Structure 1
Amino acid sequence: MIEQPEQRIAVIGCPGAGKSTLATLIARATDLPLIHLDAEHWQPGWVEPEREAWLARAAALADGPHWVIDGMYNSTLPARLRRPTLVVYLDLPTATCLWGAMKRVRRWRGRSRPDMTEGCPEKLDAEFVAYILTFRRRIRPLVERLLAGSDVRVIRLTSTRDRARFTAALTHGELAAGVA
């Protein structure tokens, strides 16, 4: 039996950038298992797990040989960015991300979206908006440091046009063989 090389693709970026949608397309194109960190993290009713249990769960997920994982979760980012063979970094402008989050809320208001735990209806509160508005100033430098200190291949998408081109390439099978 020939063992396949490990393939792990992390999709990261600000909320509202389109991580879950893109991760779903990548998983379909590559036949890799898809892990949405939102669905793994949240318990019904927007209940967060204990910190140590969450860190252990995220590390266990990242230890798998084959996956596409989407999500940020800053506390787990250093450990997760040591594992991928490819990082797709949605480094989009703040306004684009805020607009994406608002569109998502409008679409899923009062319901749990497919990449979220059942019992966590979509919402947009002040804390979440503040996270998006401060992401480039507070979180992006951490991401940049972690990526700079890594030898992992990074595909950085900095505009909706970049994201659309990458999505089109996936949809047309141009990247399906050997994305990572």
Structure 2
Amino acid sequence: MKRVVIIGSSCSGKSTFAKQLADKLAMTYIELDQLHWLPDWAERPDPEFRALVDKVSAAESWVIDGNYSVARDILWPRATTIIWLNHSFELVLYRAVTRSIYRTSTKKPLFAGNVETFRHSFLSLDSIILWVLKTFHTKRARYANLLTSNELPGINIIELSGQKQVDAFLDNVKVR
């Protein structure tokens, strides 16, 4: 595992898992959300985002988390391993709600200093909870198709379903 991409639905635990894996492997951790989001929840233009992804993924080793299809053609061919956190809808929805409650109550700054508000998280059409409800099943089917296609030669594909599998995987990773 020299260059690892972590994918999964929103709120599947990609960032937490990727940070832990990068720490165990003593590798650089890169969060695509950090590259994508600008202040006031503005999205970085695709050409700028792709240029940043191209730059950071040119390194010898890394663990990157994120699902941005606009950068998939850059990241996936460079990856040696893709790990899919394929959790149940119930777990992901639970995490979306609890994460939103936590973030709105703590006002913890996120990417580019953005802060989740109660209104944005629970009363907006841009709510992460609504996003999970609208995209979970479609993304799951898309990943299943992408990861079983013959378009990823030489890339180790690992699917982890449920927190027990995630924990067991991390427990078995050899620390560098």
- Under a length normalisation based on structure 1, what TM-score does the superposition of the two structures give? 0.81
Shift of 1:61: 2.1
Instruction: Confirm whether residue 129 of structure 1 aligns to residue 132 of structure 2.
Output: no
Unaligned runs of 5+ in 1: 1-5
Match of 1:95 in 2: 90
Shift of 1:73: 1.5
Paired positions, count: 166
Instruction: Map residues 1-180 of structure 1 onto 2, 5 A cutoff.
Output: 7-109=2-104, 111-112=107-108, 116-123=110-117, 124=121, 125-127=124-126, 128-147=128-147, 148=149, 149-151=151-153, 152-167=155-170, 169=171, 174-177=172-175
Percent of aligned pairs with the same residue?
A: 23
- Asked whether the equivalents of residues 97 and 129 of structure 2 are also in contact (C-alpha less than 8 Å), the reply is no
Secondary structure at 1:81 match in 2:
helix
Secondary structure at 1:65 match in 2:
coil
Q: Distance in 2 between matches of 1:26 and 1:160?
A: 14
What is the RMSD computed on CA atoms of the aligned residues? 2.1
**TM superposition outliers: structure 1 runs of 4+ over 4 Å:** none
Q: Distance in 1 between matches of 2:34 and 2:69?
A: 16
Q: Distance in 2 between matches of 1:94 and 1:25?
A: 23
- Under a length normalisation based on structure 2, what TM-score does the superposition of the two structures give? 0.83
Greater percentage in helix: 2
Match of 1:3 in 2: none
Secondary structure at 2:158 match in 1:
strand
Secondary structure at 1:164 match in 2:
helix
Shift of 1:18: 0.6
Unaligned runs of 5+ in 2: none
- Structure 1's 136 and 84: CA in aligned 2 closer, same or farther, altered over 3 A? same
Say which is worse superposed, 75-84 or 86-95, in terms of deviation: 75-84
Q: Distance in 2 between matches of 1:146 and 1:25?
A: 25
